[in-house]
Structure 1
Amino acid sequence: MNKFEYIMNRIAHRHGVYSVFSDFLDLLIYAFSHGNKEKEYLGIITKYEKPDAYSLSEALAALVIEMTGDDGNGMIDVLGEYFQSHLSHGANGQFFTPVHVCDLMAQMTNPNGISERIFDPACGSGRMLMSAAKVNRFAKFYGADIDTNCAKMTTINLFLNNLTGEVACMNTLSNEFFQAWTIEPTINGVPRIREITKHESYIYANSKLKIKNSAPVIPQIEMPVQNFKTEPTQQLLFTF
């Protein structure tokens, strides 16, 4: 058990794991909003007694250290691993793609690192975007997920790895929009998280355009029925 997991579980014994994890994500997003969400931040942190409030700050420190890694390159999905182990348990089909598979896919789809924009329409905790950042961290990263906690995890993962872009909590099939955040640089070079409306969202605007200009329905063509020879499954293993 790593330190982040230990601290979160210690607080969860008193407040419940789902409540603590959800509050932790909100607190980080509000804290990294450069004072624009102070009222919302205080509304959450005042629910916790001093020892637990201090433990939440310890959890942030542990998170940053662990997601940085021994090599200092970052891109380690600590939040996603905790979420899968303690909250989702595979509910709603939430099994995140293994990191090494994400790395392989990123290298195959963008081998030269020249893509300027990377989009994952079902981003989970953002590990596919972080794998893409290992190829080109100067691209703009866009992620969307229907699960609120997933969208928030991706936002925090991008921010703490100093990546810029946008994350939306939305249904990318129906284009139903709930929330979105941009991770953007400021004049002094320190990034910030800013909550945006759907009218400011690059993801929503482009998804809406794609739905509006969807491909025409292609009429079905009846094909003649063919009789295929069936063979035992074991035999097929030797015919390839």
Structure 2
Amino acid sequence: MKEFTPSNLNGLNFPELERIFTNHFDNLAFKHSYYNVFDHYLDTVINGFCFNYDQNIMEHIRKRYSQTERYVFGEMLFIWVKIMDIKISVGNDFFDWFGYYYEKNAMSKQHGFAQYFTPEEICKMMVMLLIDKGTDNQKIYEPTCGSGRLNLASHAVNNKMYHVANDLDYTCAKMSALNFMVHGIKGVVTCDDGLLPKSKFKGAFVINERFAPSIRFISDVNEAYFYINTQVGVPAVEETEQVTEQVTQQDSEINTEFLTEQYQRKADRKGQLTLF
């Protein structure tokens, strides 16, 4: 790659900024692959706002990319900031740049980008149905956060909530962490198995803990879950036993023979169980 010359980004609109970003992205991806460049770009941005990010990851990036290529990452970070400044014009706006660009590459290049996230309009509709605008100290849990779009929509409706998000995909966890940070969301993002916590833990990001924007990285699984428990609280033993007793009682009241008969009829009629 030739010597890096900074672009003049002053006064550019969103399509123009996106075009420059894509040119940088494609040039890096020609050598390093699209997915790797996207993931390492996320690492570089996180490192810029995090005082204790994983230095093994950053050392790998320093060895893999030339100084000129790392300068390009720096300008791509600056372009993201400029884009967010354009897209978020009022206090309750949000824009999922990382999810947007991820999905765009999934549709056009298919180079390791294999996910599509809940559409923004669907997220807004779900939030309007579920989130109480006037209640303080609410907590929201998102076990499969993707790029954090549902959390962004929730924050736009009520910005006083504490967010706990998780995704099995580390790239998604990084996107969510950065989206939380730039939108002023306070919370924690983990990369783990949402059904079996601690079984596939890769890291946790504490977002906007004391000031914004900021990210604190936690590499130890026990420390991460201890921190989450101190922030959101753990139900008392007697409360857990009470809930378990209620669920058991409800289960005993279900006519299981009747349900089994209904399912068997459907299976006999169509040859398989169906949802509709």
TM > 0.5: yes
Matches within 5 A, 1:129-208: 129-175=151-197, 176-178=199-201, 179-186=203-210, 189-196=211-218, 197-202=220-225
Q: State the aligned residue count.
A: 225
Tell me what 1:231 maps to.
none
Corresponding letter in the other structure for 2:146: G
Corresponding letter in the other structure for 1:160: V
Corresponding letter in the other structure for 1:163: I
Tell me what 1:100 maps to.
121
Tell me what 1:123 maps to.
145
Say whether residues 1:7 and 2:24 are aligned partners. Answer: yes
| Percent identity for Structure 1 against Structure 2 | 26
Q: 1:160/1:70 Cα in 2 relative to 1: closer, same or farther (>3 Å)?
A: closer
Tell me what 1:34 maps to.
51
Q: 1:165/1:103 Cα in 2 relative to 1: closer, same or farther (>3 Å)?
A: same
- In structure 1, the residue corresponding to 2:94 is in which secondary structure? coil
Match of 1:79 among 79, 98, 104: 98
TM-score normalised by length of structure 2:
0.69
- In structure 2, the residue corresponding to 1:201 is in which secondary structure? helix
Query: Structure 2 stretches of 5 or more lacking a match?
Result: 1-14, 267-276
Aligned-residue offset at 1:167? 0.4
Query: Structure 1 stretches of 5 or more lacking a match?
Result: 229-240
Structure number with the higher helix fraction is 2
Tell me what 1:238 maps to.
none
Say whether residues 1:45 and 2:67 are aligned partners. Answer: no
Tell me what 1:61 maps to.
78
Cα RMSD, aligned residues only: 3.4
Q: 1:129/1:58 Cα in 2 relative to 1: closer, same or farther (>3 Å)?
A: same
* CA distance, structure 1, for counterparts of residue 86 and residue 146 of structure 2: 21
* CA distance, structure 2, for counterparts of residue 120 and residue 19 of structure 1: 26
Contact in 2 for aligned 1:31/1:41 (Cα 8 Å): no
Q: 1:36/1:83 Cα in 2 relative to 1: closer, same or farther (>3 Å)?
A: closer
TM-score normalised by length of structure 1:
0.78
- In structure 2, the residue corresponding to 1:199 is in which secondary structure? helix
Structure number with the higher strand fraction is 1
Tell me what 1:21 maps to.
38
* Range with bigger deviation, 120-129 or 87-96: 87-96
- In structure 2, the residue corresponding to 1:143 is in which secondary structure? strand
